[in-house]
Every structure is written in C-alpha cells, then in structure tokens.
Structure 1
C-alpha cells in the first residue's frame, strides 16, 4: 500500500547575490536547501539593477529541484509556499505585466539624490517624516520611481504597476497583484505609516498613472498556485502562497526576533538591523517602518556592505576559502595589528547616510598580513553595528535581546567580534539559513500551527569578553573620528569616480 506523503513547505528568498530555497518539514526540520547564484548590474556609478526575469527563472529552478526531492526522496508533498526578497526594489511594468526596465535595487543604489532633494522641497521634509515615519534616503523606493519619471519619461508613461521580488513571484505563482504592508512602508513617501495605507495625494504626485497594489500582511495568503504555475514549477496546483516581505524581516521571523525589544542582526552581503519597538519612533538617520506582522513596528538600520567586503578581499587574495581567512584573522587578534577600516566601499546607509562615503584603511604598514586586513574588515563592520545600535537607542529603542542570523554567523569569529565590540550577548538559533526559512515558517503557519521556538531553538549564546570590549572601546573612538576626518578627501574622490 503506497505511503501517504508527509506535508512540507517551500520557502524561497531572492537576495542580492543569490536566490535560496528550503524544503522544510512540519516540525521545522530542514529537509533540503538549494542556491542559485547571480550578480547585479552596475550600469553607471551608483546604479545597481537586476533583470526581474532572473527572479522568476531562479524560483522555477529552485522549486522544481526541491519539489522533485520532496516527492522522490523525502516522501513529502509541498502544501504551501512562503516568499521573501531584497528590498525595497522598484520594478515597473506595463498594463500587461511586462517589465519596462531592470529593477532598481534598494539602498545600495544611490542614484536618486536629486529626486530626494526635490521631493523634500515640494512635500516638506518634516511633513514626510511625520506622515511616513522616516525621511527620504537612498533606501526609499519613492525617489527611485521619481528618477524613472524624470530620466526616462517615455518609458514611465507606460508604467502601470509596481513590484518587488516577493510580489513578482506572487504574480507568477498566483496571478495576484498584492504587496505586504512592510514593503509598502519602505516606499516613502507613498505610504502613510500612521494610517497604514497608501497616501493617495503623494502617490499621485510621485507615481502618476501607477496603480499601487492592494496591501496585505506578510503571513496572509496572496492566492493559490495556478495550473500554469504548477506546470512550470512542479508545485501542486491550488496550494496557498504567502504575500511575503522584504528579506531582513523574514530573517527576523526565522529566529523569533519580532518581540518588543528584540534586535536582529543579519550577517549577509550587507549588515541589516531590525529592532522591534512598542510604538512609532522617528529618527533622522534610521528607517521607521511597520513590521512584518500586524500590530508591530520596527526601527531599522542597514550598512551598505559587510559580507560584500569580505568577498571583495577574498577575491583580491586569490580566492582562498573563508575558513582559511578566518583562521588568519583569528591569529591577527583584536585590533588587527593596528589597522582600522571604514567599510563604506559602496557608500553608507545608516547612521552615516552618505552615498559618497568610501572605504578607508588606516594604519597600513609593510608588516601587515592578509589576516590583519581580513580581521580589520570584520572589526570595521562590528564598529558599524555598534554605531547603529547607539543610534537605535538614542531614538528611544530599548534593546533587550540580540539575535544573530545569516551566513556570516558560521565560523563563530565574526559574531564573537561583534559581541566584543558592542558588549552585547547574541543569541544564535539552530537554523541560521535566513529569510528563506522565515518564509517557510510563514507558509507553515498558513496551513497549521508552527512555533518558531519549536522549529528553531537557541543553539548558542555569544557572550562578550570584557577585556576585549575594553580594548575595542579605544578603537571604536578612533573609528568614529576617522569618517569626519577623511570625509573631505573621500568625497572629492567620489566626485572623481563619477566623472
């Protein structure tokens, strides 16, 4: 007698450097994972784009691999799909849903400076902050829509819909046109964070002619898999699909960091911080958003690079494996032999908010090694985390628990450096694969009961070393001095690079 397949859920995340998929059992067991690597396009200085066709093609490839494994090897059947993706991104399509140009990515794309200045004049900077919770920055989607309207007017005249990676996958799977509230709240100034809805007067001013999507919460069902999507992906037709959200918020859900006072640190291509707060908080150098779940609010920050810097160094060093570089960095010891790095190789998002910031390595001598440079990169990102934490607390955030997630938590050294630099304990859960696992959790909650504590218990607590923290206090003071001391020079160099 044939065995009845056990239920499983699929979670997929579209990231900056790869798309990741996980097949997860009903108790949270990771049955299989898969990755598809990709690159972004940089057609001009400050421009970072991606062809949305890659998002769907990689989803189809991941879904086919993981559903085949479920059926052929695991004796399972996928019963729901959860989605997430980098963001906020701007993908504009025509009325038929055909993309008009590559998607403009989140805060790593810094093209919208002139549009930010214009919208602040026209709408009022203080009024934007009052209504939207945050000011305009390179992270906000609204000025990027305005950039397309200003710079590509003939193309923009045909724009009718706005998508992000997760909502683009929802469209392909279900045919639905929806967006989650959290992603919408990063579309400043189009979304009213107090009313938690699109603000029609500003939406019409910034995105005339664009029909903004109906809004749902991240864990709500956007629809069900269509027969055509089932044929393409191998997924069963009729199973529910979550509305989805931006990757960092899905990562926070994956490790249970969504209670008031929780702070999630996402160790990825960029370093991202999501702090769940009890009420709307506004800060000039941070992003105030609604949370991924109803009734929650967040204060967030993000560095423009973190893992991207370590990857860059790995390539410069001739591509040794990361384990070797971590061993060399461990040997270097705290302070990296007297090196100090500003990790602003792609500008900086928060709390510096300077798209023309640049990387600086101070203190180099002929005696410094690859291990020293790699350690300085890890320590530089840790100093950036501390800077963001101080900004979060200055804004009124009360940080209780710190939870680490993402690929950078593997190996242990980076998380230990961050704890030593910040003086804060970090919690690491058993599964730290990230946003795709958070998407799977939301999918499981669509079709049954799934608790993050049962799915993903705490595996480790990274406790700071007081002696190391005291040593890092001195270096952190120098780190804070280095940016203003070097800003004039690096801004001049940034202008030279833009020529």
Structure 2
C-alpha cells in the first residue's frame, strides 16, 4: 500500500499529513512556532530551526507512523489519537492536530507499505539568502507582514512605472512583493552578496535540503514582482537585469511537478527512503485552495488563519489595482488574490492579554454578546494592512470602549472588524460563484457566521479542514501519476448562510468601520513613527 506525505510551513506552525492515494488521512503531525519581530515592520524566521528542522521532525514522525501502520492490521494507538477503524481517520487527525503530535490509523495490511512521494508548501512569498551550501546568511524575511522594503517599493515603482508594473506583473508593488525585498537585501548586504549565493522561499529552501535542487514554482515566482511576466508566465529577465544585475534565477516548475528525489543526507534526517520523489509545492494559501477543490473559474477560497487570505481562480490573466494576479497551481492557470495582514494572530494576542484563559471560554463569552458588540468597533491593522488599504503604517484601533465592555466584547469586535475587512475585499472581486472557507478559524462556527452575516455570502465548509498539507499530499499523488490530474479529494460538510436578523446592525457597523480608518489615519501614522 502506498502513502503520500504533505507538509506545510505556516506562520504559526508546521503541519504534516500522511494520506492514502484516495485521500484518507492516516496520520498528522504538528510543530508550533512564531515569527520573530525584531524591529517595527520586520517579520522574520530562522530557516534552519523553523523550516528545515521542523519539517525533518515531522517527516520522521510520519514515516514512523507509516511503519506502525505496516506492522499491524488492527488499530494503532499513539499519544495523540486512537482510531478504531480507517473510517474514523479524520477524527483521529483532528485530535492529533490539537495536541501537536502524530496519530496513526492502521493500513489495510502489513506488507508493501511505502511513502510514494512528498510535497512541501510554505508561507510566502518569503526570501532567505544562503551560500552555496544552503547556510542562511541572515534570518528569512517574511511575506507582506514584513514592510522593511518601503523605500525600495517606491524606487522600483518610479524606475519601471506603476502602470507598466501593473500590466506586466498583474499587481502593484507592495510589501507582498519579493523584488523590493531582494533589492533591500542586495543594498544591505553589499559586497557580502556573492555570485554563487542563492535565494529561496520557505518551501523551496526545504526542497533544496531534501534534494539538492534549486527551483521555484510558477505561482511563487509570480509573487516575485517585478521579476515575473504574468502573461508569458516566465521570468522578466530584462527587468531583473535593470534592477539587480547578475541576480541568479532558479528554474521554474509547476507545483505538481517532480523536482528531485530524497538524497542520502535527507534520508538520514527524515527517515524517508533514498530516491523518494519530491514534488515542487507552492505557497501555503494556494495549496490550501487546491486542497478544497478551488480549481474552476469563479471558485474563491477564504482562508481563516493567522492572516485572512483570498484566492479566486480566473479564466484568464487580468490586472486589478489593489488585488494580486498570479499564476495558479495547475499548469497555465491564473488566480486573483488578496490578503489581510492579521486576523487569527489578533485572537491569540487577545487570549494572551486576558491571562491565557481557555479559548473556548473566551469564544463562549463572545457568542453571548449581540451583533455589533454593544457599540464596539475594531480596526484589525495590528501589523499594518495589505489589501484593501495597502498601508504599512496603519495600526489597530478599538473605538467605543466603555466600562461595561469585557473580553467577550473584544473578541466579538475582533471577529466583526475582520469581517468588515473581508467585506471590503470581496466587494472588489467580480465573477465569484462559489466561496469555500478553510483554515483553523472555521472551527467553532462563530467567526464564519459573523463573516457570512457581515459580507452577505454563503460559505461552504469542507469536511476535511486540515489545510495546505492536505493539498500538498494531493499534489504529491498527482505529481507521481498515482492519481489523475483532475482528482479532487474534497467533500462539503455544511454551508454557512447569512442571518438576516443582523443585516441592519452590520450595515451600520460597516459604515462606521469604513469611516474610522480615514478619520484616524494621520494620527495613527504619527504614532507609528514613534
């Protein structure tokens, strides 16, 4: 029996999943981490500790789970989960995910069980500079929540032209783009940037550690603005030379392509067999969209995670100011995307701020508060904001506080503020036919209900909500030809529909929310400079 493994490096954790070729979850594993915020506007990670080491540990744990499955044809038990039959695999996986350790479920026999392929996705786009031996020269710079390259964004926009960048790259330059961050690194590193240095995103660094190969998938490359032509789906080498002469560029592949095999050093570190195929993978949000069948034009994924993210499949490339047009997951495809800078991270901050009480307690208190949080409104710009306002100096605002407001009001206002931001972004999308909600924030029901109420949308909640690592596992199966390219493992669990009784309250709240940012922007910008 063959298994595939998917691993995703997220902002708050690394997660792995072991699956059969028909999408049954056999085991899961997790390691938690957090980005470093060494200066205002900076967001970093240690590529060795937070990316490679965690992925290696998870692969070791999952290959051990495979061996356990091979050794018995009855139920296997671990510290994370106990499953009576293969039919309860999803329940076991959910239990294991909550505890951060792997759970196993027996396979159909004890002979011929192997890991057939591995695929890795990761937060992104990120950038880490390494030497030729893959030793990082400095911490990795994260995606749009790292806003250090503001100067370079302005300079490159002036050099190449805002309209030309939008037309060729499918989006304006912003803190999400890798080009300005590479320019910042080149300027900061100076002579320390050597000709044989390489640069990676999170998942491609791990791929290099697993296989020795330096590649970049088309989707991630399409976020390396202004260095990728969205129409030709290839590097814009003339602009690379104009901006960063001599910068080496990795070969481009599609996320489902095999890019190499596990070499001996990686086998020793992970427990995988030498020669196991490794599939390219992509940025986590796109792997997550793939995991829930967001693959047809008009499909839109709404991801509830550390940040709120949106991915819509397009029939053809387009340029929409304020949104991001990118290459998609499947060969030749295109997507339109948007992202908020913070969402789930605010709930973690609030939980810590209120003494670390069990989150279910905080959630119950928020659910008991009526719509509108009794006059409280929150702007969720705790780390600046990406779409829709593109303001790295924006900051969180809580307005309307009184002595009667408690922690439950704050959580409800957080959910409602994020939902207002979602509504603003969704209003800029066109042609949306189906919304699929994914991510850890879909659990519990309150957050998704508030978003449906504020945004006026129906959301499909999949039965399997493991996320990007599940999409990676499917990409692994497709990449080795074990399943057809159009295979879709997702199944709907239920649909969240708007509650009409909240419509008037949320219309008023949305108006207040929309007016609050421009009314406080100048004052907030002054505070952000301190």
TM (normalized to structure 2)?
0.90
The answer on 1:466 being equivalent to 2:500 is: yes
The answer on 1:61 being equivalent to 2:57 is: yes
Q: 1:21 aligns with which of 16, 24, 27?
A: 16
Q: CA deviation at 1:152?
A: 2.4
Verify the 8 A CA contact 1:420 1:469 in the aligned structure 2. Answer: yes
Counting matched residue pairs gives 487
Show CA shifts across 1:206-252 (max 9, x none). Answer: 33333110001001111111232112211122221111100000000
Q: 1:164 aligns with which of 195, 201, 215?
A: 201
Which residue of structure 1 aligns with residue 464 of structure 2? 431
The answer on 1:240 being equivalent to 2:277 is: yes
CA distance in 2, matches of 1:454, 1:147: 41
Verify the 8 A CA contact 2:342 2:381 in the aligned structure 1. Answer: yes
Which residue of structure 2 aligns with residue 135 of structure 1? 172
Verify the 8 A CA contact 1:100 1:159 in the aligned structure 2. Answer: no
The answer on 1:214 being equivalent to 2:251 is: yes
User: SS at 2:524's partner residue?
Assistant: helix
Show CA shifts across 1:178-197 (max 9, x none). Answer: 11000000000011111111
The answer on 1:482 being equivalent to 2:510 is: no
The answer on 1:358 being equivalent to 2:358 is: no
Which residue of structure 1 aligns with residue 84 of structure 2? none
The answer on 1:456 being equivalent to 2:490 is: yes
Q: CA deviation at 1:98?
A: 2.4
The answer on 1:411 being equivalent to 2:444 is: yes
User: SS at 1:332's partner residue?
Assistant: coil
Q: Structure 2: state its 5+ residue gaps.
A: 70-105, 108-112
Q: CA deviation at 1:454?
A: 5.8
CA distance in 2, matches of 1:159, 1:147: 18
Verify the 8 A CA contact 2:134 2:209 in the aligned structure 1. Answer: no
Q: Structure 1: state its 5+ residue gaps.
A: 1-5
Alpha-carbon RMSD across the aligned residues, in angstroms, is 1.4
Which residue of structure 1 aligns with residue 137 of structure 2? 100
Verify the 8 A CA contact 1:248 1:435 in the aligned structure 2. Answer: yes
Show CA shifts across 1:454-473 (max 9, x none). Answer: 62210111111122233211
Verify the 8 A CA contact 1:382 1:418 in the aligned structure 2. Answer: yes
Which residue of structure 1 aligns with residue 293 of structure 2? 256
Which residue of structure 2 aligns with residue 196 of structure 1? 233
Q: Map residues 332-347 of structure 1 onto 2, 5 A cutoff.
A: 332-347=369-384
Q: CA deviation at 1:485?
A: 0.6
Larger displacement relative to structure 2 (442-451 or 66-75)? 442-451
Q: 2:454 aligns with which of 421, 446, 461?
A: 421
CA distance in 1, matches of 2:433, 2:181: 35
Verify the 8 A CA contact 1:430 1:457 in the aligned structure 2. Answer: yes
CA distance in 2, matches of 1:182, 1:69: 32
Larger displacement relative to structure 2 (414-423 or 123-132)? 123-132
CA distance in 2, matches of 1:110, 1:441: 33
Which residue of structure 1 aligns with residue 321 of structure 2? 284
CA distance in 2, matches of 1:276, 1:451: 17
CA distance in 2, matches of 1:232, 1:214: 26
Give the 3 Å change call, closer, same or farther, for CA 361–449 of structure 1 in structure 2. Answer: same
Show CA shifts across 1:366-417 (max 9, x none). Answer: 000111100000111111111110122xxxx211100000000000111111
Verify the 8 A CA contact 1:100 1:155 in the aligned structure 2. Answer: no
Which residue of structure 2 aligns with residue 269 of structure 1? 306
User: SS at 1:70's partner residue?
Assistant: helix
TM (normalized to structure 1)?
0.95
Verify the 8 A CA contact 2:121 2:203 in the aligned structure 1. Answer: yes
After TM superposition, which residue ranges in structure 1, 4 or more long, deviate above 4 angstroms? 450-454
Show CA shifts across 1:428-471 (max 9, x none). Answer: 11111111111011111123126887622101111111222332
